[in-house]
Structure 1
Amino acid sequence: MKIKLRNYENNDRFGTDYQNIYDFLRRINQNQYDTPNFLWARWSWMISRPVDNENLKNKIGIWEDEGKIVALVTFELTFGEVFICVDHNYDFLKEDILNYAKEYLSNEGKLKVIISDSDRQLQELALNSGFRPTQYKQYVSVLDINDKLKYNLPSGFKVVSMADSWDYYKYNRVMWRGSNHEGEPSQEDEDIQWRKTMLSSPHINPKLIIAIAAPDGNYASHCGLWYIPGDKYAYVEPVATDPEYRKMGLGKAAVYESILRAKELGAKEAIVISSQQFYYNLGFKPFKTETWWE
């Protein structure tokens, strides 16, 4: 056993290191959910997202055993808020990973790490390292995919997918308005390019990227879904509904349509990082709870 620590190489957005971490996250979650809060799809979504300082991604830490990745520590949206992913056969690395995170992934001396409420080992290590749990949680919910997942669309509404006639301007609009921003979004070239980059992952299946189009052609609701044949689970991210079209069953339709398409490819479960009542009403059940320690 020859464990080596190195940094992520961010020379190419979807280069060798991206692919190797994607393989690592798929491998450790193949038979059981070792890192249900940070599956390969969350990694892909994170790397797809342009950030102001792309060089920060070079601070991501990778542990390898004779060239095979066995552990990862990374941030996602906010530098200084980190996720620890470890092959359960290498749990002894967790103390080293915490120390690395404190030294290299802190943001102006502040660091938060998400820890599963069932990971007593990492909790104890964090406690001894000066971390304390907060009131802030992250929730993983799971849906069993079955034939009971049915929906109805109001007259005039229709399903479109990225594999059909995808309109990035309409996608930009539903994501903007669905995130509760007021008014109309900027539709400058840089805004549309940002949206295109977000959907540029080589592991996106365009048939699973769904929008519900309103009678006027605008996208009223959207669901992104990530699935690779051979995996048990599909990952829901993101979901957005224009406030003008809420309470019409359109969000349900977008999510169910995406999930049912994944079911045809072999998915048995769907996972979402959320505890919103919206998902519980769709049949998702609480699965794992994690706490932010700082």
Structure 2
Amino acid sequence: MGGAPMTIRFRPYFDSDFLRIRDFLSQSAREADGSPTRQPWNWWIDRWSFTATVSCAMHRTTHEEWAERLGLWEQWDAPTRTWQLLGLVLNEGERRGEAFIQSGCAELPAPVLEEMFDFIEAHTDTSGGVTLRLDPRFPQRMAIAERRGFARTDWQEPLSWLGVDAAPALALPPGYRLVEAHMVDVREKAALHARAFGYTDQPEFVQSAALAFARLPLTPDYRGDLDLLVLDAAGTPVAMAGFWYDAANRWGALEPLGTDPQHRRLGLARSLIGEGMRRMVQLAGARGERLDGMWVGSDQPFYLAVGFAVQNRWSVWQKALPR
């Protein structure tokens, strides 16, 4: 690809980049002074792990299809004589034309942004269009999107924060108990996910979900002690929550969270959030670290009632492309 300065280059994704991208996402979540931001503009590490396994499996996106829609831009670092990551184009593997521009806190050079938009439009899937999430702190990206024919939608993607001191306590009703997900057959976990997210009438997705959750523990940031389920008196999984700990940023992320509709309004999800926070606090303390809180990508009333507060919203832009 042309246009960027000679000290900046594009290259495709290789599997050896997985941890490198993970580290970039974690390390780039900083303000200019180096402190973790409370208004993130990039993915959290959970989304990178979840996309590469669960999302792709659920939507039957092959690894090759997912990888070919990932783009890396690197900048030559003379003191170390190495190429360092400067920016990324990521996708969620859901065959919906979604794309995400990731960077440090400073805006990318205009020629790099133009190359990113070229890459996105050339490598989107066959859904017929592209959907971008753009952080409002990067107005140059929105200006380029508008000039290239993208339209800003009414929808925004929220990012909400729960401080460690605001986490609820574990308080399960009689007859319910907490277990770690590895203690339950992955097919039972997949069936719960289907009930919680309303796709039990799509058996192909239920089958894909079992494969998806079997793959999830293969990611380097997955921890079995942070993948939690609530069982009812019969031993059936009825609520689930996954937590992801990012030590470098002193925070965690919640993905996914779901409850069987027959067992809602009993405080199960609230209890899972409290237990997940407690476990991450304990994990941080054992390492001599500190946890400040956790993120979730939602502004649903439930989360706000628990104590999450919206910190940022990404605007959503769409452009129709010929099939």
Equivalent position of 1:28 in the other structure: 28
Match of 1:216 among 227, 234, 240: 234
Superposed CA RMSD: 2.4
CA distance in 1, matches of 2:132, 2:104: 18
- Correspondence 1:1-294 to 2 at 5 A: 2-9=7-14, 15-30=15-30, 31-33=35-37, 35-36=40-41, 38-49=43-54, 50=57, 51-56=60-65, 57-66=67-76, 67-76=83-92, 77-89=94-106, 91-92=108-109, 93-105=112-124, 107=126, 109-146=128-165, 149-162=168-181, 165-182=183-200, 192-264=210-282, 265=284, 266-294=290-318
CA distance in 2, matches of 1:157, 1:253: 11
In the TM superposition, residue 44 of structure 1 has moved relative to its aligned partner by 1.1
CA distance in 1, matches of 2:117, 2:207: 41
In the TM superposition, residue 209 of structure 1 has moved relative to its aligned partner by 0.7
In the TM superposition, residue 184 of structure 1 has moved relative to its aligned partner by 10
TM-score, structure 2 as length reference: 0.81
CA distance in 1, matches of 2:261, 2:251: 29
In the TM superposition, residue 240 of structure 1 has moved relative to its aligned partner by 0.9
Give the conservation status (yes or no) of the 8 Å contact 1:173–1:185: no
CA distance in 1, matches of 2:97, 2:202: 32
Give the conservation status (yes or no) of the 8 Å contact 1:35–1:85: no
Q: Which runs of 5+ in 1 are unaligned?
A: 10-14
CA distance in 1, matches of 2:229, 2:16: 32
In 2 relative to 1, CA 191–132 (structure 1 residues): closer, same or farther, beyond 3 Å? closer
Q: Secondary structure at the match of 1:55?
A: helix
Residue 278 of structure 1 aligns to which amino acid in structure 2? F
In the TM superposition, residue 205 of structure 1 has moved relative to its aligned partner by 1.2
In the TM superposition, residue 150 of structure 1 has moved relative to its aligned partner by 1.4
Q: Secondary structure at the match of 1:111?
A: strand
CA distance in 1, matches of 2:127, 2:178: 46
Give the conservation status (yes or no) of the 8 Å contact 2:27–2:248: no
Q: Which runs of 5+ in 2 are unaligned?
A: 1-5, 77-82, 285-289, 319-323
Residue 84 of structure 1 aligns to which amino acid in structure 2? I
Residue 208 of structure 1 aligns to which amino acid in structure 2? L
CA distance in 1, matches of 2:256, 2:242: 5
